[in-house]
Amino acid sequence: MSDYLIQLEEPLQHGEEIITEVVFQTPRVKHLLEFDKETGEYAGFLRFLSALAGLPPKVLGQMTLKDMQQAKALFADFLPEAPENSEEL
């Protein structure tokens, strides 16, 4: 499987670098473990994306909600199912 790419609605700042697109590697089981490190669905998903992209969560935390939805759509098949009483991203 190849890498996944999203074009960002708004660029992200990473030090001096301006990021206009994010490349995510193919998800592996080790990436799903990122969900267990944080409480809260958003925190776990952000850590998951961070592990895939090789960027700090603080950088990806700058993404717009539209960009977050793009990322969620890319990885919907890989994400753990949320309990029935929880809210979706």
Output the pTM of the full model: 0.80
Partnered with residue 19 across adjacent β-strands are 12
Q: Is the pLDDT of residue 80 over 70?
A: no
Position 87 scores a pLDDT of 55
Higher-scoring residue by pLDDT: 74, 89: 74
